[in-house]
Amino acid sequence: MRPPLPPFDRASAEAKVRAAEDAWNTRDPERVAAAYTEDSVWRNRDEFFTGRAAIVEFLTRKWAKENGYALRKDLWAFDGNRIAVRFQYEWHDEAGRWWRSYGNEQWEFAPDGRMARREASIDDVRIEESERRIFGPRGPEEADAVLPQR
């Protein structure tokens, strides 16, 4: 079991989103992948894959490239066993150039609370280091902060 369990209400959907944000900010592929079913189906940008092992491989590759990765997620909508999220994360490449990645995710959960399907659409925008606004995991001062539009 991976509470909170569907069907979601606002509080449980928000808790699920924050738990996902916290896990992804660890940049630990095994920890993140444990929140997904063994046969979870993913679309991330232009990649399509299935299964926890593929998730671990994908995240290992992702975080080898996206240095200094720090993420924020906000609940967009929820219904039954589905949640929609918008997110932003910042990272730098090996040349030291900074990026902000904007995206939307649609999540579908199994009865045990693990994610069975994740579809993510993401765009990257080059930023100057001075434009950064996400500096690591969310602190207490950001507990209820909502992502800015740009």
Residue 143 has pLDDT above 80, yes or no: no
Surface-to-core class of residue 64, CB atoms within 10 Å of its CB (0-12 exposed, 13-18 middle, 19+ buried): exposed
Coil, strand or helix at 108: strand
Complete domains list, the chain, with CATH: 10-138 (3.10.450.50)
For the stretch 103-132, pLDDT in tens is 999 999 999 999 999 999 999 999 999 999
The residue ranking higher by pLDDT, 136 or 42, is: 42
